[in-house]
Structure 1
Amino acid sequence: MYLRTDKFKHTRKMALKTFVKISQVNNLTDARYCAGMYVNWMGFSLEENNANYLSPEKYKEITDWLSGVSYVAEFEHSHPENILKTLQAYEGIDAIEVSQEVHIPMLLNTGKALIFKVSIQSAEDIRELIAKAPGFKENQVTVLLDSSIEKLSEEMISLIADLSEQTQVLLGFGLDASTLETTLDQTGVYGISLKGGTEISPGLKDFDELAEILELLEVED
């Protein structure tokens, strides 16, 4: 496993049963709650045209309250040159997440861990990733599987398990509190990815779905 490198800050003991990344964090309520639940990675969208975009000022305002969590800069379309230019305004970024596979080679030597976020539409998309898995593992690229699919089919579970045996995978869809532990066991993924979101009003947010999964993953003292 290669998430635990010197590129990351690990100043506390893991208190969740699996590795957890929170994506699209854009408010202090989400950030403080998730940090308090001992998530490992906290992702922020740094593209201005994204609905969850976080300005350098807002990023600093949020992260000044946090400790013991690693920060991920999330990009969908930006060219690597623009990504690296953007990061100059954000202190403490540990990893870069991209959705364009062609951008990966241009970011391998940045000193940041890399995450490749893939939108899964069908089982065939996972098969294509399996074929590329040795390259991802060699370059220490974590594969994050995302999708609008709500329930994992048996075929997808089997394919994700195959992919997980060959490279490091975070599962970002098909997650349900009632079947979460079974899904983790069957797929063998390294961890999961959950989404934050916009507050109803400052300091007021419905945490029900997010909290249900995180609380299920808590390690009892």
Structure 2
Amino acid sequence: MLKIKVKAGSITNLTDARYFAAREVEWLGFPLGTGEGLIEPIKAKAMAEWVDGVKIVGEFGFSTPEEIRSVQEYVNLDAVQVGMFASREDLAKLKGLNIIKEIVVDKGFSKTELEDHFGAYADRCSSFLLNMSAGGYSWKDLQNGNPFPPAFLKSICKKHRIILNLDCPAGETIKMISETEPYALAFSGSGEEKTGFKSFDKMDELLDCLEIED
């Protein structure tokens, strides 16, 4: 059992899905659609049937609300993750679904803009995935106040359910959690070295740090 909820996203193969399910993460996220790095709903549905004890999230980029609802019903998704530019009107059409909104923090994204974005969507979403890794930020950057200090992130986490994606060494993870207090952490899957085989050494190191000791 883990000390904090974990979302494993960008899952495109059964090897990742079964690994993260065995590590008792809270959510498995499948990037749905057509194109590179995405999988068809039929594949996501098949993989979801192979795992137990985890919530299944559909990760959508620029799909319409109607497309999202259709896939949600087909795959029987527990939650849907929408992109940065999904509007309030789009989310209103998804009312009744468990919605995670991704926010990518990139260069020039001010603290005020971030707070305003959370405030504008808080009544439409169950949680936010704050993706700082996609903007090139790490825990070391945050400690240096770039783009903002841990105390500011902690203040955001106290107001909203934040699933935090932030590059952090395994040995610093507990300190990072203590200083920011996110609702959950987000990690990502990756491609297989060959079908059915890949190394999870780095991910094992991270998740081992989060294990509750007997």
TM-score band w.r.t. shorter chain: 0.7 to 0.9
Q: How does 1:51-200 map to 2 (within 5 A)?
A: 51-90=36-75, 92-108=76-92, 109-122=94-107, 124-146=109-131, 147=134, 148-150=136-138, 151-154=140-143, 155=145, 156=148, 157-200=150-193
Q: Equivalent pairs: percent with the same residue?
A: 28
Which residue among 15, 30, 34 is the counterpart of 1:29? Answer: 15
Distance of aligned partners of 1:185 and 1:127 in 2 relative to their CA distance in 1, 3 Å threshold: farther
SS at 1:73's partner residue?
strand
Q: CA deviation at 1:149?
A: 1.9
Distance 2:123 2:68 in 1: 23
Q: 2:2 aligns with which of 8, 11, 16?
A: 16
Do the aligned residues in 1 keep the contact of 2:10 with 2:31 (CA within 8 Å)?
yes
- The residue number in structure 2 matching 1:207 is 200
Q: Which runs of 5+ in 2 are unaligned?
A: none
- The gaps in structure 1 that reach 5 residues or longer are 1-14
The number of equivalent residue pairs is 205
Q: CA deviation at 1:47?
A: 1.7
TM-score w.r.t. the length of structure 1 is 0.84
For residues 122 and 84 of structure 2, the distance between their equivalents in structure 1, rounded to whole angstroms, comes to 17
Distance 1:140 1:56 in 2: 23
When residues 104 and 192 of structure 1 are mapped into structure 2, their CA distance, relative to the original with a 3 A threshold, is: farther
Aligned-CA RMSD value: 2.0
Amino acid at match of 2:137: I
Q: Distance in 2 between matches of 1:126 and 1:210?
A: 31
Residues 209/144 of structure 1: CA separation in 2 closer, same or farther (3 Å cut): same
Does the 8 A contact of 1:115 with 1:144 survive in 2? yes
Cα distance change on mapping 1:121 and 1:132 into 2, 3 Å: closer
TM-score by length of 2: 0.86
